[in-house]
Structure 1
Amino acid sequence: MRKLMILVSLIVATVILVACGDSESSSSNSKDTKKTENVKTKGKLKEEDYEKLYSDPKKYKGYELEITGKVFAEPEQDEKGTYIQIWADPENAEKNTLIAINDPKFKIKTDDYVKVEGVIKDEFEGENAFGGTITAPIVLAKNIEVVDYLTAVSPTLKEVEMDKEINQYGIKVTLKKIEIAENQTRVYIKIKNDTKEKASFYPGSAKLIVGNKQLEEEYIDSETTGLQEIQNEILPSIETEGVIVYPAINLGEKQIKLNAEVSSENYDLEFKSYIFDVSID
């Protein structure tokens, strides 16, 4: 990987230097470098061509694109810029993309998520650790920003505000909102224990009902995603809140239901399911 990154730096640096003047020279001055911001392009890459880009990057040289991804190798910097590698499909660790940033002091680190607007400048070809040939597009960034996990991997397509509370014996469960994304559904819940006994809530016991299907909780890494986990055991007078993630649902769904279970160490209390009916406009 280190060898690959050194090659990337050399190649991308060259791309930056010749990007605007279409020059074959290996040297440039600050005036030439600044011109890269106004490089002529062939227009925007079509949506249907994003997948094809990774099988034949050279075919799409000169096209503008907008991608998000995760930095998976240590960024490198020199006096002319910053160079990073990202997975444009971070969930599957696929779509290796090399990004050149015309800012030698750009602050970025491994595992950051980024949103990039740029121009496809060339194709990188090299070897992986097993001796196999790999190719990747080289992109000259026009605009780049560090973003959070949700923006990069699972942007919200539809948000349903609820803020609905159900109270049983002083244990209050509030369904705050639901976010529907292309690859997951996020349910935001708050629980307040206003009793004198410890209460228990296990996200795995909460089911999302969609039509005649029962959706189960999906595992999330709170450190990676930034999504807060709900505490399982809730002491008296304590409040906890977090997110339960479920598989994606169809945006065309009109009605769904959340069925949650809470228990108490006061075994004389008989709890019913906390059931929330959700209308999706």
Structure 2
Amino acid sequence: MSIQDIDPPTQAPVLEVRGITKRYGHVEALRGVDLVVPPATVVGLIGDNGAGKSTLAKILSGAEQPDSGELLLRGERTTLATPVAAHAAGIETVFQDLALAPDLDAASNLFLGRERRRTGPLGWLGWLDRSGMRREASEAFERLGVQIKDVTGPIASYSGGQRQGVAVARSAFWAHTVLLLDEPTAALGVVQTGQVLQLIRRVRDSGIAVVLISHNMPDVLAVCDRITVLRLGRRVSDLSVEEATTERLVADMTGASIADDPRTANIDCEAGST
């Protein structure tokens, strides 16, 4: 399949990336990448090492700035100059390190950096509404199906799956546009992976779009509605999950699907010069 064969999603996108480029010195990490994220949809973003997935995630989270191209949120062009700007736009990201505070409890991690103060004079003095935050955290975990027996226990005592669940739930709690997940099932067991995938489905069903970056092909096929493949900094395919198979995705990732197409042969030639 060639780039010209890509059929765009029919739903109006909540997030759209057009022609994004990013260069680090002589290395072109992104070469005019497009990405379309419809509302309440899980979009898989896959590709081999060096395909540009992490660079694109950093741009969407406000941690990096593109050299050219544009970002549109709900059809309006926007600039995500900082992670704070991305948060204000309703975009939340869960990176592989999870960014959890191990000595704090689950509720405190959910509100980390966004703590609620008590009302009245005590709030003016900086007193936190800990009971209110724990109540809201418990409701959020229950709504998303994250099984936390004691939200007052330190994160350090949780299993890997529970920590991942807290990290995803925290971002889903604050996101109102897009949730970016970078390898959320890495290093998890089968049962814990299943719990995280179910959590992703619940986030989507709540109306939030999800961009899932993963090397795990079965996970991508199990939970995604659409799958975008990057190769050497370019988008080479954008498929519905009904169109996608492991063989087809691997072919797109490795270039086997475009090797014999004269219209796209120049992609490999250009990439070889970087």
TM-score range, shorter chain: under 0.3
TM-score w.r.t. length of structure 1: 0.21
Pick the structure with greater CA Rg: 1
Ranked by relative contact order (alpha carbons within 8 Å, sequence separation 6 or more), the top structure is 2
Structure number with the higher helix fraction is 2
TM-score w.r.t. length of structure 2: 0.21
